[in-house]
Homo-oligomer: A and B are copies of this chain.
Amino acid sequence: MSKTTVYEVEVMFGDCDPAGIVFFPNFSKWMDAASLHFFVQCGVPPWRELVKTRGIIGTPLLEIHTRFLKPATYGERLQVHTRVEEWREKVFIQHHVVRRGDDVLCEGRETRAFCIRHPDDPDRIKAIPIPADIRALCGG
């Protein structure tokens, strides 16, 4: 069964824009933090460890799709509920719901791949098949 984790964020003044509400790319930043938090909660080491032991630099994004339902402002505490919705061979879909208590503020799907440095050119990155042991840790 897929696991769901909850990552809590407190909105800072500097996260908000001249309209007084969260500048929307910050929701993507928080979903990204929630994505990594999901893996760490499932027992996967952080990327700075995995890069040393297995060459995995993280799970860069191939695609994001996000809907914004209600704004948030500084001082508020938000909860990002995260799970893996689908595992494919080389990519997986992570689903996030950002809530403020009972209010749903924002919902997003991310398509990600586990990546290593490209063997022919360390400045490029390359997707690898999803490691079976990591998938198993995540209840996939």
Contact = CB atoms under 8 A, between A and B. Distances in A.
Nearest to A75: B46
A87 interface: no
A30 B14 CA distance: 9
Contacts of A14: 17, 23, 25, 29, 32-33
Interface of A is mostly: mixed
B25 A13 contact: no
30 contacts: A10-B33, A12-B29, A12-B36, A13-B23, A13-B32, A13-B33, A13-B47, A13-B58, A14-B23, A14-B25, A16-B17, A17-B17, A18-B20, A18-B47, A18-B58, A19-B60, A20-B48, A23-B29, A24-B32, A24-B60, A24-B64, A25-B26, A25-B32, A36-B74, A48-B123, A62-B68, A63-B68, A64-B64, A64-B66, A65-B65
